[in-house]
Amino acid sequence: MFYYWLMTRLPMKLEEIRNMIAKLPPVEETPWGKELKELWTAEARAEARAEARAEACAELRQMIQRREEDLDHYEELFRSGVLSETAYGDLTARAQREVQQYRADLENMNHSST
């Protein structure tokens, strides 16, 4: 299409047009090409950061869910007599601290994305 446009406007042969086009600088070397490349690079980096943040948030949610399931499991073990009261208290306190930290991390990530 571009060749046709040039051929209809310039009194040149196709080979001359190809040679002329071959001499043009790469798009990245033109001022507008540099601006466009910078813009696309910035957009790609922003998208990559957003994707990484979304993956990290999903991972934190999974970790919270696992620790909450652990809390339920510890309670079952304590009720069945497998865990002593001391062990149950230690395990649940640690799991609750971790859940609390994961939730704080998740909250921080959600606020930093806005």
* pLDDT tens-digit readout, 65-79: 999 999 999 999 999
What confidence score (pLDDT) does residue 35 get?
Answer: 83
25-55 pLDDT per residue, tens: 777 777 877 888 888 888 888 899 899 999 9
Which pLDDT does position 31 carry in this prediction? Answer: 80
Round the average pLDDT of the chain to a whole number and report it.
Answer: 86
- pLDDT of 22 > 70? The answer is yes
Q: For residue 99, which of 65, 54, 58 has the smallest C-alpha distance?
A: 65
- From the list 8, 6, 40, the residue with the least C-alpha distance to 24 is 6
Quote the pTM value: 0.62
Position 62 scores a pLDDT of 97
